[in-house]
C-alpha cells in the first residue's frame, strides 16, 4: 500500500509570517512530524510514500527524506494557495490503487494508526480529547456516510486528517477544481460522500502553533511511557514521575544516546562526590537514577528506540554501579570490609546478569516468567534508593552488608525458581495440538 502525505502547508503560524521552514519538519517529542508519519506507517507495512510539498520547502524536505532513507517520491504542488485538495491532485499519477492519505501537520499515536489502517474512508473521532473544538473540522454523518463537513457545521465527529481512499477521490477533486478553481479536502470529502470509520480514545491532533507543538510533545511523552513491568517500585512511585517531566523538556533537545551519557556522567560524578561526602554522593547517585529513565523515554517518544542503545545504557549502568560501590569502599578509609564490598559488587551485577542471560537463552523475560521476583526487590532503582538513604544517614558499612546480602539472596532465589521450573518441565517435548 502507498501513502500520500500532504506537506505543502507553509507553517506561518508555527514559524511566523516570514518563515519558510516546512511545517512538517517541526519536531514533536524529538522527531519531525513527517518522520513520525513515515516511520510509523512504514512499520505498519506501507511500502511507498508520496510527499506533496510546496516549491519553497521542496529542497529542505528532499534533504530530510534522503537522510531518513524511506522509499518516497516528492511531488511539488506549484499552487499551494489552491488548497490541500489541489495538493492531493498532484499525487494522482503516482497512486495506482487504494491508498492512505495523511495530513502532514497532524500527529498520531501508534495505537491510533493500528486502528485507522483497518478503516475505510474518512477516519473520525467523537472524543477529540487533544484538539480545540472551535478550530476543528466537524463531520456530520448519515447512514455510514459523510453528509456534511466543515469548521462551521455542527457534527458529532471530528475529522482526524487520516483517510483510507481509492482512486475515485481524484475524480471528485478534479470536479471541484473545475468548478471553483481551488480545492479544499472538506469539499472533496462532501462531494465524494465518503464512508467513515470511527477510531476512538487515542491521541491525534493537528499542530498549528508552537503551543500545539508543546502540547503534542507532552502528550506523546506521557503516552509512550514504558510498560510498568520493567520498573521497580522506586521507579514507579518516584523516578518515573520526575523523569517524565524532565523528558518532556529534554526530548526535543537531547538524543537518547546523549541522555544516556548525561545520566552516566552524573552517576560518575556521584561516585567522585562520595569520596568527599558520602551523603552528597548518594543524592547525586539517586539523581542519576532518575535521569537514567530519560534515555529510554526519549527513545520511545521520538521513535528512535534501538537495541544497541539499550545495550549501551545497561553496560554503562553497570559501570556506574561498580564505581559508586568502589567509592563507598574508598570512603571508609583504612579498614575496608572488602569481602562484603566484593559481595555487593558481585550481587548487584548478578541481579542484572541473571535476567539478561535468561532473556538471551529463552527470548523471554525472567520477571514475566517468575513474577514473584518483582516482590523481592533488588532492582537497580530500588538498590540506588536504599544506597542514597543509608549514605545520607552515614551508614556506609551497613549499606554494604545489606546490599551484599539482599542482591545475592535475590539472584540465588531466581536460580532456585528456575531450577524448579526446569525439573518440572524436564526434557519432555512440548505438547502439540492434535488435529
**Buried/exposed 296-310: b ≥16 CB within 10 Å, e otherwise:** bbbbbbbbbeeeebe
Cβ contacts of residue 427 below 8 Å, gap of 6+?
none
Of the candidate spans 140-148, 236-244, 342-350, 384-392, the one that interacts with its own copies by CB under 8 A turns out to be 342-350
Site string for its own copies, 51-80 (x = CB under 8 A): -----------------xxxx---------
Contact status: 345 vs its own copies (CB under 8 A): yes
Query: Which of 166, 236, 249, 338 touches its own copies by CB under 8 A?
Result: 338
Alpha-carbon torsion (160, 161, 167, 170), positive or negative: positive
Least gap, CB of 173 to its own copies (angstroms): 28
Cβ contacts of residue 305 below 8 Å, gap of 6+?
256, 296, 299
| Count of residues that bind its own copies according to CB under 8 A | 57
Least gap, CB of 317 to its own copies (angstroms): 10
| Nine cell digits for residue 265 | 556522567
Least gap, CB of 315 to its own copies (angstroms): 6
Query: Which of 18, 97, 333, 360 touches its own copies by CB under 8 A?
Result: 360
Nearer to its own copies, 189 or 351 (CB): 351
**DSSP one-letter string for 156-219:** SEEEEEEEEE-THHHHHHHHHHHHHSS--HHHHHHHHT-BEEE--SS-EEE--SHHHHHHHHHH
Within its chain, how far is the Cα of 196 from the centroid?
28
Query: How distant, in Å, are the alpha carbons of 50, 65, 94, 186 from that of 87?
Result: 11, 18, 13, 13
Give the separation between CA 283 and CA 148, rounded to whole angstroms. 60
Least gap, CB of 433 to its own copies (angstroms): 10
Contact status: 39 vs its own copies (CB under 8 A): yes
Q: What is the CA radius of gyration of the chain?
A: 27
Partner residues linked to 7 by β-bridges: 53
Least gap, CB of 79 to its own copies (angstroms): 31
Nearer to its own copies, 158 or 324 (CB): 324
Give the separation between CA 268 and CA 323, rounded to whole angstroms. 7
Among residue numbers 246 through 305, which ones bind its own copies (CB under 8 A)?
A: 257, 304
- DSSP 8-state class, residue 94: G
Nearer to its own copies, 356 or 398 (CB): 356
Least gap, CB of 271 to its own copies (angstroms): 13
Contact status: 330 vs its own copies (CB under 8 A): yes
Contact status: 356 vs its own copies (CB under 8 A): yes
Contact 163, 123 (CB under 8 A): yes
Query: Which of 18, 97, 333, 363 touches its own copies by CB under 8 A?
Result: 363
Backbone angles phi and psi of 244, in degrees to 5: -65, -40
Contact 343, 404 (CB under 8 A): yes
| Nine cell digits for residue 295 | 534515555
Query: Which of 132, 171, 179, 339 touches its own copies by CB under 8 A?
Result: 339
Query: Which of 78, 98, 362, 393 touches its own copies by CB under 8 A?
Result: 362
Of the candidate spans 109-117, 130-138, 246-254, 331-339, the one that interacts with its own copies by CB under 8 A turns out to be 331-339
Among residue numbers 296 through 325, which ones bind its own copies (CB under 8 A)?
A: 304, 306-312, 314-315, 318, 322, 325
Contact 189, 122 (CB under 8 A): yes
Contact status: 427 vs its own copies (CB under 8 A): yes
Contact status: 342 vs its own copies (CB under 8 A): yes
| Nine cell digits for residue 129 | 480529547
Nearer to its own copies, 130 or 401 (CB): 401
Query: Which of 18, 96, 178, 432 touches its own copies by CB under 8 A?
Result: 432
Binding site for its own copies (CB under 8 A): 39, 42, 47, 68-71, 257, 304, 306-312, 314-315, 318, 322, 325-326, 329-330, 336, 338-339, 341-342, 345-346, 349-350, 352-354, 356-363, 411, 415, 418-419, 421-422, 425, 427-429, 431-432, 434
Amino acid at each position: 500500500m502507498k501513502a500520500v502525505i500532504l506537506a505543502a502547508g507553509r507553517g506561518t503560524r508555527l514559524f511566523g509570517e516570514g518563515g519558510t521552514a516546512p511545517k512538517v519538519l517541526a519536531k514533536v517529542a524529538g522527531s519531525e512530524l513527517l518522520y513520525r508519519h513515515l516511520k510509523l506507517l512504514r512499520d505498519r507495512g506501507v511500502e511507498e510514500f508520496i510527499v506533496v510539498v510546496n516549491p519553497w520547502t521542496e529542497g529542505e524536505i528532499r534533504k530530510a527524506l534522503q537522510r531518513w532513507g524511506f522509499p518516497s517520491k516528492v511531488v511539488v504542488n506549484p499552487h499551494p494557495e489552491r488548497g490541500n485538495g489541489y495538493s492531493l491532485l498532484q499525487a494522482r499519477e503516482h497512486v495506482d490503487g487504494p491508498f492512505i492519505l495523511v495530513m502532514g501537520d497532524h500527529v498520531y499515536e501508534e495505537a491510533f494508526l493500528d486502528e485507522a489502517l483497518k478503516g475505510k474512508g474518512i477516519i473520525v473521532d467523537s472524543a477529540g480529547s487533544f484538539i480545540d473544538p472551535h478550530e476543528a473540522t466537524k463531520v456530520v454523518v448519515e447512514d455510514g456516510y459523510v453528509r456534511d463537513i466543515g469548521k462551521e457545521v455542527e457534527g458529532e465527529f471530528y475529522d482526524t486528517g487520516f483517510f483510507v481512499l481509492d482512486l475515485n477521490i481524484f475524480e471528485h477533486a478534479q470536479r471541484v477544481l473545475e468548478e471553483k478553481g481551488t480545492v479544499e479536502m472538506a469539499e472533496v470529502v462532501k462531494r465524494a460522500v465518503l464512508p467513515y470509520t470511527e477510531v476512538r480514545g487515542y491521541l491525534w491532533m493537528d499542530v498549528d502553533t508552537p503551543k500545539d507543538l508543546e502540547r503534542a510533545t507532552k502528550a506523546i511523552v506521557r503516552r509512550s511511557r514504558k510498560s510498568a513491568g520493567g520498573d521497580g517500585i522506586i521507579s514507579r512511585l518516584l523516578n518515573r514521575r520526575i523523569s517524565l517531566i524532565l523528558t518532556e523538556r529534554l526530548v526535543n533537545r537531547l538524543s537518547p544516546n546523549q541522555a544516556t551519557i548525561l545520566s552516566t556522567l552524573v552517576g560518575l560524578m556521584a561516585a567522585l562526590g562520595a569520596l568527599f561526602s558520602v551523603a552528597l554522593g548518594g543524592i547525586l547517585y539517586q539523581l542519576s537514577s532518575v535521569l537514567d529513565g530519560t534515555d529510554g523515554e526519549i527513545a520511545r517518544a521520538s521513535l528512535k528506540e534501538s537495541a544497541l542503545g539499550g545495550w549501551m545504557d545497561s553496560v554503562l549502568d553497570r559501570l556506574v554501579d561498580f564505581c559508586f560501590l568502589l567509592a563507598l569502599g574508598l570512603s571508609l578509609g583504612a579498614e575496608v570490609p572488602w569481602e562484603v564490598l566484593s559481595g555487593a559488587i558481585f550481587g548487584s551485577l548478578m541481579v542484572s546478569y541473571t535476567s539478561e542471560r535468561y532473556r538471551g537463552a529463552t527470548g523471554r523475560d525472567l520477571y514475566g516468567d517468575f513474577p514473584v521476583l518483582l516482590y523481592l526487590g533488588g532492582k537497580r532503582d530500588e538498590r540506588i534508593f536504599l544506597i542514597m538513604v543509608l549514605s545520607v544517614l552515614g551508614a556506609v558499612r551497613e549499606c554494604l552488608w545489606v546490599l551484599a546480602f539482599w542482591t545475592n539472596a535475590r539472584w540465588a532465589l531466581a536460580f532456585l525458581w528456575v531450577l524448579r521450573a526446569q525439573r518440572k518441565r524436564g526434557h519432555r517435548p512440548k505438547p502439540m495440538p492434535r488435529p
